[in-house]
Structure 1
Amino acid sequence: MNTLIKAVETWLPTPDGSLLEFGGGLYGRATAFGAISRSLCFGRGEGLPGRAWYDGQPIVLKELDGSYFRRADVARDAGYTCAIGLPLFHGDALSGVVVLFCGPNRHEDGDGEDGAVELWRHNARVSSDMTLVDGYFGSRVAGSFAAISRDTYLPRGTGLPGLAWQKGAAVLIDDLGQAGKFVRADSAAELGINRGLAIPCATPSDDAYVLTLLSTADTPIALRVECWAPDDGHLGLQRVFGFCERMGALRASEGGTVLAGSIGKAFASGVPVINEHAETEPGMVGDAARDAGLSALVAVPVMTNDGVGEVIALYF
């Protein structure tokens, strides 16, 4: 099955904090791109990982060719047309940068790009609302939906990005047609956009950022999406929400408690973790991955002012 996210990689600070080095990657069949990536490192302000570090905020890079993206030629060969740099900050300290790649999917009627990735920001000096910074809109959903998004102002608690801003936590809406939860529901429905994930992004600035991933039924965000947060006794992590393309909605009560593995490590360290063999995860995480035929996962900590608030797990 095609997914909105085609590849993912992590870049981690070196011990002396002077560079970002390769932390892990999931590239599917793009083995050449993966081989080149594993040999690289980035200084502050260099390439997409270094620029996200330097700017201190997420970046949606819609055009790789002719940009500061260092691997544009081989990315084009791999079919990647967009990259999102997501820096993970606790205060001013960077724990890592997650890079997500998107690109066209092959359909019966030709190649096209489904879904969208949006970056929203609240800048109190400009507005009391959250507005769109930039977005990657697939060719099959561009046009009117992108125009509406650019003209949309979201008060705190309104719409998918506004809900994540208000909660300070990730929000997944399985059906964007639910009344009152997605401001652009009618336009999204016309284009087949049915599911959205919003992730708040902590930065060193006072601005609030939310990264939103919007997908269609044919092109889900990932094969499985989960959010894990501390249980009531702070003895482990419990699933807050989840959706699996092969199993449907996942109730929080079905997740059990996670103490170790990639999800537990990401929560404890604040560092993103990639496991290319999801079935090797301990306990119910590995069992669920095996049962659903999922091969890999990335665990992304969601940072807050107090540290790690929760972990988003994306499976492929």
Structure 2
Amino acid sequence: MDAATATATPARAFIGVSEVWVPEGDRLVHAAGDYGAHTAFEEASVRTSFGKGEGLPGKAWAEGRPVVLKGFDGSYFQRTEAAKEAGLTSAVALPVFDGETLKAVLVVLCGDDETTTGAIEVWAERDGLLMLDDGYYGAAKHFEWVSKHTHFPKGQGLPGGVWAAQTPMLMRDLGSGYRFIRSESAGAAGLTTGLGLPIPVPGDQNYVATLLSARGTPIARRFEIWDAREARVGRDGGAVLVDGLCEREGALWNEENPKRAQDWQGPIGKVLGTGLPLVIGGAQIAAGYSSMVALPIHRDGEIAHIVAWYL
């Protein structure tokens, strides 16, 4: 993909802000973020910290689970005025745990209008099924209704597939793919690509997050899944790109020429080295993209996978 093609970004992305909060003593402090033009909200954020249970990041930390907040007014959200001025109305917090230890909290914030369409969902295991815990859908109201009335056995659909495999998964052509259980309503909403990822938390509860992207207001224009497990990579460290797509180029890898990332080399290597999520923008990432989010998934004391998305 050339830079001129890649920079033809839609006027409005589904996610307006992405930020990383890390524990420092008994507080969560700001570690990184991509705020686009929302400079006042950025300034408010870098001055903020959260105790356990405080604000959205603190709630995800205290409750040990991903949290969706679909409205800030009258809620525990602590930057409401700055968010309102930036046109941000909803947020999702995804905690990154390594066993019992919180490594970081990734927070993504979205605005709401009549055209912004997509979905960020959190699915929780209840009575042997995955049920919708909560989600933010923008203008995809019918798809939201369908999702609230859908549940997944292990292995079925995108959430159930992630649950069964305990690995991230990409699903293409949501509106026509028979594997995507909600394909008819997804097609009507304009949803095209789905990324599902397990969210390990302390205890036995299973959570799966799904990011469903629409062409008009995408969550991302490029998705990547990296496998960092020793059985796959060998003893040299690093990670292998095992799945990915660009909205214009399709798959980003093949069996004969898998792409590798080494610890501390490039953005994926930095995530491997630190064990923390990464949010970067501007000149720090590949030409043609304005922002990148990379999220590690820890298993058994090590990074098992990294999922990345680029806008």
Q: Same-fold call, TM > 0.5?
A: yes
Amino acid at match of 1:74: A
- What is residue 245 of structure 2 aligned with on the other side? 243
Q: Return the match for 1:119 from 122, 134, 144.
A: 122
Aligned equivalent of 1:6: 16
Give the 3 Å change call, closer, same or farther, for CA 243–95 of structure 1 in structure 2.
Answer: same
| 1:274 and 2:279 are equivalent in the alignment | yes
Q: How does 1:51-200 map to 2 (within 5 A)?
A: 51-104=59-112, 111-123=114-126, 127-139=127-139, 141-143=140-142, 145-200=143-198
Does the 8 Å contact 1:120/1:211 carry over to 2?
Answer: yes
- Distance of 1:295 and 1:196 partners within structure 2: 21
Quote the residue 1:233 is aligned against: 234
Distance 1:188 1:315 in 2: 22
Against the structure 1 CA distance between its residues 68 and 172, is the aligned structure 2 distance closer, same or farther, given a 3 Å change threshold? same
Q: Are 1:213 and 2:211 an aligned pair?
A: yes
Q: Deviations over 1:32-75 (max 9, x none)?
A: 10111011111000000111000100001111121111111111
Distance change (3 Å), C-alpha of 1:74 and 1:151: same
Q: What is the distance in 2 between the residues matched to 1:100 and 1:269?
A: 20
What is the aligned partner in structure 2 of residue 256 from structure 1? 259
Contact 2:168 2:197 in 1 (8 A): yes
Determine the structure 1 residue equivalent to 2:6.
none
* 2:52 equivalent in structure 1: 44
Aligned equivalent of 2:270, options 262, 265, 274: 265
TM normalised by structure 1 equals: 0.87
- Measured in 1, the distance between the counterparts of 2:176 and 2:274 equals 36
Q: Structure 1 residue 142: deviation in Å?
A: 0.4
Q: Percent identity?
A: 40
Tell me the amino acid that sits aligned with residue 205 of structure 2: D
- After TM superposition, the structure 1 stretch with the greater mean CA deviation from structure 2, 84-93 or 235-244, is 235-244
Correspondence for 1:313: 308
Report the CA distance shift for 1:149/1:42 in structure 2 as closer, same or farther (over 3 A). Answer: same
5+ long unaligned stretches in structure 2 = 1-9
CA distance in 2, matches of 1:103, 1:57: 23
Residue deviations 1:75-117, cap 9 Å, x none? 1221211100111111110000000111236xxxxx4230111
Q: Distance in 1 between matches of 2:258 and 2:294?
A: 16
**Aligned mates of 1:295, 1:210 — CA distance in 2:** 27
Q: Distance in 1 between matches of 2:208 and 2:91?
A: 16
Cα separation, partners in 2 of 1:205 and 1:224, compared to 1, 3 Å: same
Partner of 2:7: none
State the secondary structure of the residue aligned to 2:269. Answer: helix
1:302 aligns with 2:297: yes
Q: Offset at 1:234?
A: 4.6
**Residue 201 (structure 1) aligned with residue 199 (structure 2):** yes
